[in-house]
């Protein structure tokens, strides 16, 4: 998996368990056919990597110009949607979808949000799943000794989960002027 996916889409390949989704989020909201013009350009990824993300009409890339490192929206594995001033980046992971959220700021930067991973420690995991289950049903499945947790929120419920702090700020993307 290339560097861009690891940067923008997070830590899915590390031994962490993420909450997944049955379809690109928010469900029922039409996918964007292009990245909005006002977001085109380069952004500095604040955090450990310090890389640059470049958004363009049909997708984005990170720090290199190799064609194979460009991700295109509305592919079979990457979907971009907008809902209530948030941009939702859904990407396929095996049979389910994972989610990252970009919140544009007035100065042209983005706040990068993602849901906390399901804790590995049993008591913490139980508490996390119980807390989330009070908001929305959580489907637990185990295949080949790998346990996955899936939710299927309405757009309104997904927005509520953001407002209630289930999605945390992980980084900022600062527009390079």
Domain definitions of the chain by residue range: 3-175
Query: What mean pLDDT is reported for the chain?
Result: 87
Query: Of residues 165 and 94, which shows the higher confidence score?
Result: 165
pLDDT recorded at residue 69: 63
Total-model pTM: 0.86
pLDDT for 124-143, tens place per residue?
999 999 999 999 999 999 98
Q: Which two tokens mark 177?
A: 């002027």
pLDDT recorded at residue 145: 86
pLDDT for 52-95, tens place per residue?
888 999 988 876 544 446 677 878 889 999 999 999 999 998 88
Of the listed ranges 11-20, 44-53, 71-80, the one predicted with least confidence: 11-20
Residue 48's pLDDT band, with cuts at 50, 70 and 90, is low
Residue 153's pLDDT band, with cuts at 50, 70 and 90, is very high
Q: Which two tokens mark 154?
A: 């309405």
Q: Is the peptide bond before 26 cis (omega within 30 degrees of 0)?
A: yes
Residue 168's pLDDT band, with cuts at 50, 70 and 90, is very high
E strands, the chain, where?
19-21, 41-45, 52-56, 59-62, 71-72, 78-83, 86-93, 96-104, 110-115, 139-143, 146-151, 167-175
DSSP assignments along 148-177, one per residue: EEEE---HHHHHHHHHTTSEEEEEEEEEP-
């Amino acid at each position: 998996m290339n560097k861009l996916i690891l940067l923008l889409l997070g830590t899915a390949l590390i031994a962490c368990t993420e909450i997944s989704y049955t379809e690109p989020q928010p469900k029922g909201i039409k996918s964007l056919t292009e990245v909005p013009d006002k977001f085109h350009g380069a952004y500095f990824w604040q955090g450990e990597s310090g890389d640059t993300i470049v958004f363009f009409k049909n997708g984005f890339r990170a720090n290199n110009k190799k064609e194979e490192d460009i991700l295109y929206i509305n592919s079979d594995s990457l979907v971009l949607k907008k809902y209530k001033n948030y941009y939702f980046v859904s990407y396929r992971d095996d049979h389910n979808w994972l989610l990252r959220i970009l919140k544009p700021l007035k100065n042209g930067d983005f706040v990068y949000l993602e849901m906390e991973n399901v804790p590995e420690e049993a008591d913490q995991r139980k508490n996390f799943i119980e807390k989330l289950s009070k908001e929305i049903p959580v489907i637990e499945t185990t295949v080949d000794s790998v346990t996955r947790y899936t939710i299927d929120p309405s757009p309104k419920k997904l927005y509520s989960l953001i407002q209630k702090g289930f999605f945390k700020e992980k980084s900022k993307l600062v527009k390079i002027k």
